[in-house]
Amino acid sequence: MSLGELQRQFTLMVALLIQKAYTEGYELTFGDAYRDPRAHGAWGSKGSYSAAHSQHKRRLAVDFNLFKDGEYLTSTEDHEFLGEYWESIGGSWGGRFNDGNHYSLEYGGYK
């Protein structure tokens, strides 16, 4: 699958993830999504807090802020139900590598 095809699949998957959260009584706001290379460095270089090989730079990752009853939930455990759902539809969940609010697709060996 090409990068462009995977990016379009990722966008649809994010829509499903958002629906899942709201169906379960949670709310979301976006954290980081696309990380522009002008601010974060090109793929393979580190220009900010972003990793050199961040899937955010490829438009294949998003970080979500999770809320329940107006309370901001910050722990990896809070995201677990969404992370497991994300994995069930083919994604990589950051909770498996100490980044609980991170949802991505693997491409080129990176998550």
Residue 77 belongs to what domain range? 3-104
Say if residue 46's pLDDT is above 90: no
- Distance of alpha carbon 18 from alpha carbon 92, whole angstroms: 16
Q: Which residues make Cβ contacts (< 8 Å) with residue 23, sequence separation at least 6?
A: none
Q: How confident is the model at residue 44 (pLDDT cuts 50, 70, 90)?
A: low
pTM of the model: 0.92
Q: How confident is the model at residue 52 (pLDDT cuts 50, 70, 90)?
A: low
- The proportion of the chain whose per-residue pLDDT surpasses 90, expressed as a percent, equals 77
Q: Does residue 109 fall inside a structural domain?
A: no
- Distance of alpha carbon 111 from alpha carbon 58, whole angstroms: 11
For residue range 88-97, list pLDDT tens digits in order.
Answer: 999 999 999 9
- Give the CATH number of the domain where residue 15 resides: 3.30.1380.10
Q: Does residue 12 fall inside a structural domain?
A: yes
Q: What is the pLDDT of residue 81?
A: 98
Say if residue 41's pLDDT is above 80: no
Q: Does residue 76 fall inside a structural domain?
A: yes
Q: Does residue 111 fall inside a structural domain?
A: no
